Amino acid sequence: MERSKQRLKALGKIRHRKFTQLKATKKSAVIEQLCDYVSRTGKRVLTEKRRLTFRVVGDTRTIDFDQELIASDGDARFEDKKDSGLSIRVPTSMDVTSDPAGTIINSAGDRDKDAWSKAGKWCDYNGPVAGEHLGVAILNHPSSFRHVTRWHVRTYGLVHRQSLRLPTVQQERPGQFIHPQGRRPPQTPPPLHLSSRR
């Protein structure tokens, strides 16, 4: 417990600054906000414009999750970390290690443990939940940074989009990325864009 407390003290935070749009219609709902990424000392190092669009079509629920990461306060350095990005955890009953087991599959056809760290346009996790067979998929939009992305997907129920990581698990090259200072267009450089649907 003490070790966890000390680790948390060394981390920065993402702080909500303001909502820029809250909108709901019969077809969709939108939440748009600005967030500040701050260091452990409270200094802002990055600005994020985040937009979530919720839709219901029949028995399918979709969430479009769009992020613009803006180097608003100097160059922003992204380290090569396997857990940096969008992720979800599926119900335990759906994971591959359960009995009956769920299934992982990506757009390249890689399944279960073979899908780990593989590139794909999308990754799907499906299996039994409370007597039904359900699934959740994350689709990486073609406009997203480093599309086609790799997936840190695990048989114990984790699905994680690794847009900020290169395949260093295979020792190909380091994945550090420097995002130069700049604000939104028309100024340059443009923000780093991450977009997914799930």
pLDDT digits (tens, 9 = 90+) for 69-108: 888 888 887 776 666 678 899 999 999 999 999 999 999 9
State the CB neighbour count (10 A cutoff) for residue 149: 26
> How high is the pLDDT of residue 165?
58
Question: Does 5 or 94 have the greater pLDDT score?
Answer: 94
**pLDDT tens-digit map of 148-196:** 888 889 999 999 887 665 554 444 444 555 667 754 433 334 556 666 6
Predicted pLDDT at 41: 92
pLDDT at 117: 87
Average pLDDT taken over every residue of the chain: 83
Q: Are residues 115 and 162 in the same domain?
A: yes
Q: Are residues 61 and 31 in the same domain?
A: yes
Q: Residue 183: its pLDDT value, please? A: 43
pTM listed for this prediction: 0.80
Q: Are residues 156 and 182 in the same domain?
A: no
19 and 44 fall within a common domain = yes
Helix (H) or strand (E) holding 195: strand 192-197
Do 135 and 53 lie in one domain? The reply is no
Domain count, the chain: 2
Q: Does the pLDDT of residue 12 top 70, yes or no? A: yes
Residue 87 shares a structural domain with residue 161 = yes
Compute the distance between CA of residue 40 and CA of residue 10 in angstroms, rounded to an integer.
Answer: 6
Determine the structural domain holding residue 19 and report its residue range: 1-79+176-198
Given a contact cutoff of 8 angstroms between Cβ atoms, the answer to whether 160 and 152 are in contact is yes
Q: 101-129 pLDDT, tens per residue?
A: 999 999 999 999 999 989 999 999 999 99
87 shares its domain with 165: yes
What is the structure's pLDDT at 106? 96
- The reply to whether 42 and 104 lie within a common domain is no
Tens digits of per-residue pLDDT, 19-55?
999 999 999 999 999 999 999 999 999 999 999 999 9
What is the torsional sign of CA 91, 94, 95, 100? positive
> Are 95 and 59 in the same domain?
no
Cis amide leading into 100 (omega within 30): yes
Given this model, what pLDDT does residue 166 score?
Answer: 57
Indicate the residue type of 13. Answer: K
Are residues 18 and 50 part of one domain? Answer: yes
Share of the chain above pLDDT 70, in %: 79
Do 28 and 90 belong together in one domain? Answer: no
Helix, strand, coil shares, percent, the chain, to 5: 10, 45, 45
Whether 13 and 44 share a structural domain = yes
